[in-house]
Structure 1
Amino acid sequence: MSEQDVGPIDYLAVEFPGGRLNGDGLAALVDLTERGIIRILDLVIAQVDADGSFVTVELADLDGDGELDLAVFEGVTSGLLDDEDIASSAALVEPGNAVGVIVYENTWAGPFVTAMRKAGAEVIASGRIPADDVIAALDALEGAEA
């Protein structure tokens, strides 16, 4: 097994109503990348037509303000995200909307995983707890403390 620091790989699919992207999340994505917290492996934007078909959109001036919004991610592709994945994500959004799909590495975890391997340990499982479950649990805890 490789000794390279590799963190867990995750994906997000984000729906953009009306296919409009206003750039609010872009600064946060760039910041996370520049600080080395995540590494973008794939980034695709697709416009979903009224019949459910979709067309991928070039990373360009997505919000129409005259500036290239995602130039830092232009051409980012790892091969982990394929047409079937994009089609599955496009099927989740309403016709006329757009979907952004991001595959990213949690680079913060890579050095930890490598250190554990060097100590003879292995990561044997990882997972994701849905945000709604976390919010509900925190709300219940907060309610119990009141």
Structure 2
Amino acid sequence: MADVGPVEYVVIEFPGNRFKGEIVPVLAELVDNGVVRILDVVFIKKDAEETVTLFEYDGLDDVLEFGFADVEGEAGGVLSDEDLRMAAEVVAPDSSAALIVWEDRWAARLAQTIQDAGGRITTGERIPQQIVEKALAGIEAD
């Protein structure tokens, strides 16, 4: 098997169901440059009454209109029904979200080197941007 980088997911929420596709060109650029590889994409819509509707990326005309069809990747089959249920729980009422699973291709070589050296990454977590900004602001203030 080829080197595989760490795989992560993100839930990108748009309050008020205001997704307009602005993120698609940057995501496409990351894919085209080999930084990430898309493994799955599902769109979640939750109305004001908290009714959830799920769409595969190719099943939503509006999303295709925003250019997601031009983003390379397998985009399917990685997420389970349980994954989708848990992601939908974090989406606020009257919001839409993109649940994206991607491989961090930029880290594939490092991951393989760690494995070849007999090591393994035992845990990791994405630190929310707001926490990083606050921590860095504190360092800069010192």
Q: Structure 1-normalised TM-score?
A: 0.80
CA-to-aligned-CA distance 1:32-62 (integer Å, 9 cap, x gap): 1111111111101011123322112324333
- 8 A Cα contact 2:49 2:93, kept in partner: yes
Q: Which has the higher strand share?
A: 2
Please tell me whether the aligned partners of residues 62 and 69 of structure 1 are also in contact (alpha carbons under 8 angstroms): yes
Distance 1:5 1:59, change over 3 A: farther
Shift of 1:130: 3.3
Q: Deviations over 1:39-91 (max 9, x none)?
A: 1111010111233221123243338xxx3521135861142x12222222222
Partner Cα distance (2:16, 2:131) in 1:
28
Q: Would you say the 8 A contact 2:16–2:94 is kept in 1?
A: yes
2:25 corresponds to which of 24, 27, 35? 27
| 2-structure distance, mates of 1:46, 1:19 | 10
Larger radius of gyration: 1
Comparing 128-137 and 22-31, the one that deviates more: 128-137
Contact 2:39 2:74 in 1 (8 A): no
Secondary structure of 1:100's aligned partner: strand
Q: Which amino acid aligns with 1:35?
A: N
Q: Which 4+ stretches in 1 moved above 6 angstroms?
A: none
Taking every aligned residue pair, what percent have the same amino acid on both sides?
A: 33
- When residues 75 and 105 of structure 1 are mapped into structure 2, their CA distance, relative to the original with a 3 A threshold, is closer
Among 117, 121, 131, the alignment partner of 1:124 is 121
Whether the 8 Å CA contact 2:17–2:45 is kept in 1: the answer is: yes
User: Which structure 1 residue ranges, 5 or more long, are not aligned?
Assistant: none
User: Aligned with 1:24: secondary structure?
Assistant: coil
Q: Structure 2: which 5+ runs fail to align?
A: none
Q: Helix, strand or coil for the counterpart of 2:94?
A: coil
Corresponding residue SS for 1:42: strand
Shift of 1:6: 0.8
Over the aligned positions, Cα root-mean-square deviation in angstroms equals: 2.2
Match for residue 111 of structure 2? 113
Task: Figure out how many residues of one structure are paired with residues of the other and give that number.
Answer: 137
